[in-house]
């Protein structure tokens, strides 16, 4: 099942390349397919055994892994949804063009999902015996993918992305981006 996780990143890349080439709208389903493959891979490997740690440590780390999973799902599937006032504009855009989201977690850094995936996998290691090698390899593949997306895909798909790159850190939040994240998060409520 480890290889399903590797395959997932290939599917994510195919999705990105399809969007950039405006080839086939039906292939947008590749993204959820990749997410499903990665989820299946992680879930199956997490059931492989238990770390030799006290139950309290395993439970705490398991709760943290669940917390990072929720953040990951929110970041990748829900935080990228256009604001209500932008939905009408989205209907008139080509299918491959995505509106820029620079609020909430995307004000913190351009690729917060990398952190959530990495931290979730690292928390699964002591809580379920998830292989550390899988956590490292999936994180490295995710880093390569987001670097490629940031450089070659998103500037073509997301209007305003080049300006967003100037104002928001790639991966490591700073004080300004953390403040902007907090402020925009409060405004959403």
Tens of pLDDT, residues 3-55: 999 999 999 999 999 888 877 777 888 999 999 999 999 999 998 677 678 88
> Among residues 79, 119, 85, which one has the least CA distance to residue 102?
79
* Residue 60: Cβ-neighbour burial (10 angstroms; 0-12, 13-18, 19+): middle
Cα–Cα dist 95/99, whole Å: 11
pLDDT score of 172: 96
Tens of pLDDT, residues 68-103: 999 999 999 988 876 554 545 555 566 567 788 999
pLDDT score of 83: 56
pLDDT score of 87: 47
Rounded (5°) CA angle 82-186-93:
10
What string of DSSP letters covers 82-125? PPHHHHHHHHHS-TT------STHHHH-S-HHHHHHHHHHHHHH
pLDDT score of 19: 85
Tens of pLDDT, residues 97-154: 778 899 999 999 999 999 999 999 999 999 999 999 999 999 999 999 999 999 999 9
Quickly state the pLDDT bin for 176 (edges 50, 70, 90).
very high
C-alpha distance from residue 43 to each of 80, 115, 124 (Å):
25, 18, 10
C-alpha distance from residue 185 to each of 1, 46, 108, 164, 174 (Å):
37, 32, 10, 17, 16
DSSP 151: I
pLDDT score of 170: 96
How far does CA 119 lie from the centroid of its chain? 12
Which residue bears the tokens 């991966």?
171
């Amino acid at each position: 099942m480890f290889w399903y996780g590797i395959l997932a990143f290939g599917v994510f890349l195919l999705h990105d390349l399809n969007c950039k080439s405006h080839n086939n709208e039906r292939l947008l389903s590749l993204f959820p397919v990749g997410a499903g493959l990665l989820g299946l891979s992680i879930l199956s490997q997490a059931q492989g055994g238990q770390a030799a740690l006290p139950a309290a440590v395993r439970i705490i780390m398991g709760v943290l892994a669940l917390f990072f999973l929720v953040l990951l799902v929110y970041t990748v599937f829900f935080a990228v949804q256009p604001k209500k006032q932008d939905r009408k504009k989205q209907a008139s855009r080509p299918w491959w063009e995505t509106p820029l989201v620079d609020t909430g977690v995307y004000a913190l850094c351009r690729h917060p999902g990398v952190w959530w995936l990495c931290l979730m996998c690292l928390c699964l290691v002591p809580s379920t015996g998830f292989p550390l090698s899988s956590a490292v390899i999936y994180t490295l593949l995710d880093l390569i993918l987001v670097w490629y997306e940031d450089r070659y895909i998103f500037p073509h798909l997301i209007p305003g992305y080049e300006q967003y790159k100037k104002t928001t850190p790639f991966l490591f939040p700073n004080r300004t981006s953390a403040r902007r994240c907090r402020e925009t998060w409060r405004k959403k409520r």
